Structure 1
Amino acid sequence: MTKPTDHQVPELDFNTPALKRHRKLRALKDKAAGMGIAIGGSSVILAVLLIFFYLLYEVAPLFSGASIEAKASYSLPAEDQGESLYLTTEEQSEIGMRVASNGSIVFFTIADGSVLNTIESPRDEKVTGFTVESDTNHLLAFGYEDGKVLIVKHNYRITYPDSARLITPFLEYPYGEEAIDVADFAINSLAIRDSEDGLTIAALGASQSAILKVTKDVNFITEEVELTEQRESLPFITDVKSVLISGNQRSLYVATSTGELSEFDLRDFDDISLKDSISLLEGDAKLVSMTYLLGQTSVMVADSSGRVSQWFNVRDDATNEEKLHFIRDVQQPKPLVNIAMEQRRKGFATVDDRGLVAIYNATSTRKVIDERLSDDTARLISFAPRANGLLLEDGKGLHFYHVDNEHPEVSWSSLWSQVWYESYPEPTYTWQSSAANNDFEPKYSLMPLAFGTLKAALYAMLMAVPLAICGAIYTAYFMAPALRRKIKPVIELMEALPTVILGFLAGLFFAPFLEENLAATFSILVVLPVGILLFAYLWSRLPTNIRWLVPDGWQPLLLIPVIVFLAWFCLALSPIIELNFFGGNVRGWITHDLGVTFDQRNALVVGFAMGFAVIPTIFSITEDAIFSVPKALTQGSLALGATYWQTMTRVVLPTASPGIFSAVMIGMGRAVGETMIVLMATGNTPIMDFNIFEGMRTLAANLAVEVPESEVGSSHYRILFLAAFVLFIFTFVVNTIAETVRQHLRKKYGSL
């Protein structure tokens, strides 16, 4: 047996059964870990894509357009009664009604045109004038050759015999079956306006005109309605084409066939005067129709050139009087023969002499349908109450079409451009999705919400970024390790505080406190930095033996009493500052002297509250990035003669800049997506103003407020999803830019 020599290396066996099992187990773990990471990463990407496509799925119908489909065609019901003066249907679009030229009212089934009932005119006199008060209240008025007016209301009774729906049409006479004596001449043009307070009827003849005002008073003893009549004559106007009475019964509009409009003031009924005269048309066009849009605010004017213009009252700054003002228009290529208004939306339809039907929305000016529906001479067009049906009368008879038009009020311009809304003095960006009345014009501008989101994020970042980054720099680089181990967890623990608590405290405690101590607040912003710098300067001038009493890196503890004292000092001086410089009331001085609107819950409150919420995120990531810079870099810089500050600014910060930039971007993402603080600490008003003393409404807060109350599938509902989609795209773009900049910084400073 030979002895091993001293230089002989012992053999190692790496293929023992134990090592083989260990390698197999480690390979299995590595493979499982890789698969888990891949599955997790893929799941995150898939989840983000699913969110993206789901939002897109909900938003897409807003821009999908509309469609129209023929459902029934038949000869004119009760054709022997003459052509139609007016067409409409009841709520379910099962029964139609037409007013014939001889004054008869014909009810018929929409499906096949079979006549259900024909109610002939109750008077023997010839019908010479006809008007509709509005499509929504079903009031009709007939003017006769003897100067009298009969007011009729069509209505429908729904019963369920044998569990089947039965709709029975009938007529009502709200002012009695006897015609009202309005004039002593044949009525050629007629207009009526009815309300709870009174009725106004304007009647124009070949050479005369008259107006009747009926005032309704309730007898408190008998509770009966007593009617008081007043009659006056109007200045005569020739060639009258259309007459309208305003919704508030204060104005009368008389338009000629050439488009010359005369507005009469009806407020002083004993002295009716001409208020204004304007021209509605351009060029040689002739007036086809003048009617009110839903709500009796906008006057829609159709002419023979194919143009439909919208007009409503706007207050004149010079005279302080409201005057009819041109707002917008749409243009069809051929002369129009009729126009119809939707009964529950701000939409309308036009038909030209070729039978081409176009459907628009007045607010968005969006053309949703433009199809030729008749190859004969079109006469009349009318919407069903729900705007899901359309009646068209031409030379061949009557045609009914089903209309699928869910979101006409949405267009690029209505979402992102200024829109001139009814009763507004000028075009604005406005978000107002609901109101208490049915005549409401939805205002779906996303600009105030996007602006509010950026405004809230800006003020939050202005507070959070300097404090968080400067605090992180000192904590990671200058602070004593023992103190750092206590400070860093405390600041990170702030991130666990629920934002609803921060919002609650900001809205109910901090906002009133800030309002009462505005002078102290702004003086603190100036005094605190100056006081800290002054204290630091004085500390540096103290004898060395005194400064050495505080270990290096523990000096921040000395600032605590300084900060408390300076804050108390500013609060104590606040009343004196207000009294001597602001007349005892800073808020009043801001509002009255500066002309700046002041809301208690404003952007300043949001800046403090949301900045407080964002600071831990930015601080933690920035501190980790600075602390992770290799010590060899700092030691080498110091060894070459650089100071601590030079090392920090020229070595440490550039090396840590990718992490710092990521921290800022993540903090900004947190600020953009914040909901509860903005919801509770601002007035939640969707306005566009950089004023730090006014509130805002953000996209996230708007979603939290309105999604639970919106009707599923409605335009409002889908626009809220569009707001979420905009927020999603915004954060995606910001994160993409952040990652691109971070990679660039990493490549630039990675060689340090």
Structure 2
Amino acid sequence: MTAVSVEPGTLDAVIGFEDGSFRTGRIGLESTFLAATDVPASLASIPKRGVGLDGDTIVFHSQTGQFSRIVPVCELLEPSSGVTGAPLQSVDCTKLTSGSLVAVLDSEGGIRVEFIESRRNLLTDEVIVTTSGAVITPTSMIPASFVRLSSLGDQVFIVWDNGLAERWDIRTIESPRLAESFNLTNAPTRIVAMEHLFGGMALAAADSDGIVNIWTGVRSDTATSSDGVTMTATKTFSGDGTAITALAPSPRSRLLAVASASGMLRLLYSTNSRLIQSLDTSDSKLLGGSASTVIISPRENRLIAATQNRMVAWEFNAGFPEVSFVSLFRPLWYENYPSEIHAWETTGHESFESKFGLIPLIFGTLKATLFSMLFAVPIALCAAIYSSQFMSSRWKNRVKPVIELMAGLPSVVLGFFAGLVLAPLVEQGLMPILTSVFLVPLTILAGAHFWQIVPSGLRSKWAGFRFALVSLVAIPLGCLCAHTASPTIERLLFQGDIQAWLDGRGGSGLGGWMLALLPFSGILAMLLLERLIGPVLRRVSQDWSEQQAALVLCGKFLVSVGLTLAIAMVAGMFFDSLRFDTRGGLFGTYVQRNALVVGIGMSFAIIPLIFTIADDALSSVPEHLRSASLGAGATPWQTAVRVIIPTAASGLFSAVMIGLGRAVGETMIVLMAAGNTPIMGWNIFNGFQTLSAAIATELPEAARGTSHYRVLFLAAVVLFFMTFVVNTIAEFVRQRFRRRFHEL
């Protein structure tokens, strides 16, 4: 026997012999539990952690008192021939659903891949073996050193000790084809060991300088290989300058045992490039030199190292190697990913590479909070200002309790409504909704300006109802205008289909830039007109009548609207000419459950809190301040903006912070309306996952004591810390506001 390979976690193996032949089958040890009545009487007195022989089997008494029978297994098929008849120096096998795939390499460079399928005849109990395969002729005439198969059985890797490597596509086993050639190292460094990591998606290559590189396939549009995949070194573990003598992957995780010629034995974890433990075995009490073979036990609690005449076993506890500060808060390069990313993917198949990055959850929490506050804060504060300063006490006593009752709505009901009712409606009427976001406030402002044109007699008569009248006319009119104008706007800016435009199917970036820049353009237009035209109007309007001044203000408003559109269009055309696009940033592919839906749905939970506290803060401003302002000739609006609001600033800020705290910790609304996908991106039209949602959904299913279970508790601590920091900062700001206005 010159070479052997056993698939990790199984008994499937291939053995290579000196005559160039190889045999496949099952070799190893099988263990079965024994009932107390089945334990041989002569072995019943075996102490715990002791063993005894029962014929050809071994009986083991565990620490917990359980007896088990361990039986050696050696079931091999008939020999298969190699290529040249030279001794085999490297073999590998992988178990597929319909058989076994084997790759062998002999000392003269002959390479063969073979698929072996064995079936047992149920009538005759005869095993029927069928084989198919091919000989691979590498591009290099120098005999290779290693041959390794991929876990899916679709590729074979051929490696030379000078670092040259070839990846062959063997999906059609009878006609392999070269997919890629690459270099694992540079001369004069040589490759001395090569192994698959657990899962079979990554290769660990060790060189004569003691460096271990982790290689994985990365798919990219610029790849020169035939299948679009490029083998890339994603992790590098530095060494001590001496050659690696043994390499052993764990059969249950990305743990890797590495022995070097200096006698140093290291345990490495691939995902986060972490050194778990190290041990110097050169001491004569241990190995007395460098290990030629290392093995990690199936339970990852024992490490075995051996030389030609000595073997030592150590118990170790790797803890939770996949969890570290790096894996939690920094981007990592995971297997088969094109680059380093933040990712949260905790469960999958048995060989899944767990990803415990908390950044996507923190980002999702902040994103949900931001978009919810963008909807809730303006509405709640404006409503509080109106109810406390302009609404009659009779109506206020009716309206305020109704809004406060909204705070009692269960969040699961709001989440159900947002996810199952609101989300489909928003998807169907996306363009009218986006248009109304701009047109409804615009019509309200237009109504306020045109109210000034109404004859003074009528205005005085209906002064107490002016806000209600303007709102009752402007809001329906704005919605009607948005519904009417949205098809035209969609055709002009988004080629008639905004969802196709968001998905990147044609169209320029002008429409997206105009949507994003309109609020800033409005502020800029207002500042420009106030700075350039305001002083002139104040100077020349001293002799104007009230009607003339109102008409000029209406004209100024219309000019500001036109200037806003012009600024947004010019800026959008400029950015579009530079090939900048909001798609991939603020906008992107539309997903039904998204941040827009969450913002609207969560605002129903936040608005009552902010409104109630803000209204109380505004109402508690001393009446003498209001009376003094009105007595000095200020209008009610000027009094509210320049006297009442600054005085109540600490209370308003507290209201916003309490609403922020509610948004940060909200669970059911984001769980049902956000899609619960840990995506990082500011696209308002895609989903996300928050810390609270991850805890609520995954903690009941996480096995107690596992890394997943502990990381979820850490996520709860992070959520508490975020809330604590925000509230602490808010308290400092609130105290500053109070000190500024306490003398009033």
Q: Same fold (TM over 0.5)?
A: yes
- Partner SS for 1:409: coil
- Partner SS for 1:452: helix
User: 606, 612, 627: which one pairs with 1:614?
Assistant: 606
Q: Give the residue type in structure 2 aligned to 1:706.
A: E
Tell me, yes or no, if structure 1 residue 494 matches structure 2 residue 368. no
**C-alpha distance in structure 1 between counterparts of 2:370 and 2:420, whole Å:** 23
- Specify whether residues 355 and 268 from structure 1 end up closer, same or farther in structure 2 by C-alpha distance, changes over 3 A only: same
User: 202, 205, 211: which one pairs with 2:112?
Assistant: 211
1:442 Cα shift?
Answer: 0.4
Tell me, yes or no, if structure 1 residue 306 matches structure 2 residue 306. no
- Specify whether residues 525 and 219 from structure 1 end up closer, same or farther in structure 2 by C-alpha distance, changes over 3 A only: farther
Tell me, yes or no, if structure 1 residue 193 matches structure 2 residue 97. no
Structure with bigger gyration radius = 1
**C-alpha distance in structure 1 between counterparts of 2:109 and 2:207, whole Å:** 26
Task: Write out the 4+ residue segments of structure 1 that deviate beyond 6 Å after TM superposition.
Answer: 217-225
- Specify whether residues 563 and 274 from structure 1 end up closer, same or farther in structure 2 by C-alpha distance, changes over 3 A only: closer
Unaligned ranges ≥5, structure 2: 38-65, 508-582
Aligned residue in 1 for 2:595? 603
**C-alpha distance in structure 2 between counterparts of 1:678 and 1:671, whole Å:** 10
Tell me, yes or no, if structure 1 residue 145 matches structure 2 residue 18. yes
**C-alpha distance in structure 2 between counterparts of 1:166 and 1:431, whole Å:** 40
1:422 Cα shift?
Answer: 0.8
Is residue 187–residue 203 contact of structure 1 (8 Å, CA) maintained in 2? no
1:735 Cα shift?
Answer: 0.7
1:432 Cα shift?
Answer: 0.5
**C-alpha distance in structure 2 between counterparts of 1:532 and 1:554, whole Å:** 12
User: Which deviations, in whole Å up to 9, do the C-alpha atoms of 1:227-272 show, x marking residues without a partner?
Assistant: 2333425347535332212223333222222322233333454444
1:517 Cα shift?
Answer: 0.6
Q: Give the 5 Å matches for 1:62-101.
A: none
Aligned residue in 2 for 1:684? 676
Is residue 84–residue 110 contact of structure 2 (8 Å, CA) maintained in 1? no
User: 230, 241, 249: which one pairs with 2:133?
Assistant: 230
Q: Which moved more, 1:517-526 or 1:730-739?
A: 517-526
Q: Give the residue type in structure 2 aligned to 1:665.
A: M
- Specify whether residues 662 and 283 from structure 1 end up closer, same or farther in structure 2 by C-alpha distance, changes over 3 A only: farther
Q: Which moved more, 1:657-666 or 1:150-159?
A: 150-159
**C-alpha distance in structure 2 between counterparts of 1:454 and 1:304, whole Å:** 48
User: Which deviations, in whole Å up to 9, do the C-alpha atoms of 1:329-385 show, x marking residues without a partner?
Assistant: 111324222121111111111122343222121001111212224521122211111
Q: Which moved more, 1:353-362 or 1:406-415?
A: 353-362
Q: Give the 5 Å matches for 1:349-360.
A: 349-360=257-268
Tell me, yes or no, if structure 1 residue 699 matches structure 2 residue 691. yes
**C-alpha distance in structure 1 between counterparts of 2:506 and 2:603, whole Å:** 30
- Specify whether residues 208 and 734 from structure 1 end up closer, same or farther in structure 2 by C-alpha distance, changes over 3 A only: closer
- Partner SS for 1:243: strand
- Partner SS for 1:421: coil
1:185 Cα shift?
Answer: 1.0
Is residue 337–residue 352 contact of structure 1 (8 Å, CA) maintained in 2? yes
Aligned residue in 2 for 1:451? 363
Aligned residue in 1 for 2:103? 202
Is residue 133–residue 191 contact of structure 1 (8 Å, CA) maintained in 2? no
User: 167, 177, 183: which one pairs with 2:69?
Assistant: 167
1:394 Cα shift?
Answer: 3.6
Aligned residue in 2 for 1:422? 335
**C-alpha distance in structure 2 between counterparts of 1:212 and 1:204, whole Å:** 9
Is residue 261–residue 277 contact of structure 1 (8 Å, CA) maintained in 2? yes
User: Which deviations, in whole Å up to 9, do the C-alpha atoms of 1:373-416 show, x marking residues without a partner?
Assistant: 45211222111111111112246622222211221011222111
Aligned residue in 2 for 1:315? 219
- Specify whether residues 183 and 392 from structure 1 end up closer, same or farther in structure 2 by C-alpha distance, changes over 3 A only: same
1:572 Cα shift?
Answer: 5.9
Percent identity of paired positions between Structure 1 and Structure 2: 35
Aligned length: 622
**C-alpha distance in structure 1 between counterparts of 2:714 and 2:428, whole Å:** 40
Is residue 634–residue 651 contact of structure 1 (8 Å, CA) maintained in 2? yes
Is residue 109–residue 143 contact of structure 2 (8 Å, CA) maintained in 1? no
Unaligned ranges ≥5, structure 1: 1-126
Q: Give the residue type in structure 1 aligned to 2:239.
A: Q
- Partner SS for 2:267: strand
**C-alpha distance in structure 2 between counterparts of 1:274 and 1:543, whole Å:** 87
User: 251, 255, 273: which one pairs with 1:347?
Assistant: 255
Is residue 198–residue 213 contact of structure 1 (8 Å, CA) maintained in 2? no
User: Which deviations, in whole Å up to 9, do the C-alpha atoms of 1:4-25 show, x marking residues without a partner?
Assistant: xxxxxxxxxxxxxxxxxxxxxx
- Give the RMSD, CA atoms, in angstroms: 2.6
**C-alpha distance in structure 2 between counterparts of 1:451 and 1:333, whole Å:** 40
Tell me, yes or no, if structure 1 residue 742 matches structure 2 residue 734. yes
Q: Give the residue type in structure 2 aligned to 1:266.
A: I
**C-alpha distance in structure 2 between counterparts of 1:555 and 1:135, whole Å:** 75
- Specify whether residues 579 and 332 from structure 1 end up closer, same or farther in structure 2 by C-alpha distance, changes over 3 A only: closer
Is residue 448–residue 470 contact of structure 2 (8 Å, CA) maintained in 1? no
Aligned residue in 2 for 1:542? 454
**C-alpha distance in structure 2 between counterparts of 1:278 and 1:449, whole Å:** 37
Aligned residue in 2 for 1:623? 615
Q: Give the residue type in structure 1 aligned to 2:340.
A: P
- Partner SS for 1:546: helix
Is residue 406–residue 715 contact of structure 1 (8 Å, CA) maintained in 2? no
1:553 Cα shift?
Answer: 6.2
- Specify whether residues 233 and 659 from structure 1 end up closer, same or farther in structure 2 by C-alpha distance, changes over 3 A only: closer
Is residue 200–residue 211 contact of structure 1 (8 Å, CA) maintained in 2? no
Aligned residue in 1 for 2:44? none
**C-alpha distance in structure 2 between counterparts of 1:225 and 1:432, whole Å:** 43
**C-alpha distance in structure 1 between counterparts of 2:690 and 2:463, whole Å:** 47
**C-alpha distance in structure 2 between counterparts of 1:215 and 1:395, whole Å:** 34
Aligned residue in 2 for 1:650? 642
Is residue 132–residue 174 contact of structure 2 (8 Å, CA) maintained in 1? no
Aligned residue in 1 for 2:666? 674
User: 183, 187, 202: which one pairs with 2:83?
Assistant: 183
Q: Give the 5 Å matches for 1:238-317.
A: 238=142, 240-282=144-186, 284-317=188-221
- Specify whether residues 259 and 535 from structure 1 end up closer, same or farther in structure 2 by C-alpha distance, changes over 3 A only: same
Aligned residue in 2 for 1:11? none
**C-alpha distance in structure 1 between counterparts of 2:395 and 2:190, whole Å:** 86
Aligned residue in 1 for 2:279? 371
Q: Give the residue type in structure 2 aligned to 1:608.
A: I
Q: Give the 5 Å matches for 1:107-126.
A: none
**C-alpha distance in structure 1 between counterparts of 2:128 and 2:724, whole Å:** 64
1:490 Cα shift?
Answer: 1.3
User: Which deviations, in whole Å up to 9, do the C-alpha atoms of 1:725-744 show, x marking residues without a partner?
Assistant: 11111111111110111111
Aligned residue in 2 for 1:518? 430
Q: Give the residue type in structure 1 aligned to 2:651.
A: G
Tell me, yes or no, if structure 1 residue 131 matches structure 2 residue 44. no
**C-alpha distance in structure 1 between counterparts of 2:631 and 2:110, whole Å:** 103
Aligned residue in 1 for 2:319? 406
Is residue 234–residue 272 contact of structure 1 (8 Å, CA) maintained in 2? no
User: Which deviations, in whole Å up to 9, do the C-alpha atoms of 1:179-219 show, x marking residues without a partner?
Assistant: 22233412232323231234333333332514142254979
User: 531, 545, 559: which one pairs with 2:443?
Assistant: 531
- Specify whether residues 227 and 454 from structure 1 end up closer, same or farther in structure 2 by C-alpha distance, changes over 3 A only: same
TM-score, scaled relative to structure 1: 0.78
1:226 Cα shift?
Answer: 5.6
1:588 Cα shift?
Answer: 2.3
Higher-RCO chain (CA-CA 8 Å, sequence separation at least 6): 1
User: 677, 688, 711: which one pairs with 2:703?
Assistant: 711
Q: Which moved more, 1:378-387 or 1:634-643?
A: 634-643
Tell me, yes or no, if structure 1 residue 331 matches structure 2 residue 331. no
**C-alpha distance in structure 2 between counterparts of 1:426 and 1:445, whole Å:** 15
**C-alpha distance in structure 1 between counterparts of 2:128 and 2:416, whole Å:** 53
1:524 Cα shift?
Answer: 1.2
Aligned residue in 2 for 1:482? 394
Q: Which moved more, 1:630-639 or 1:687-696?
A: 630-639
- Partner SS for 1:182: coil
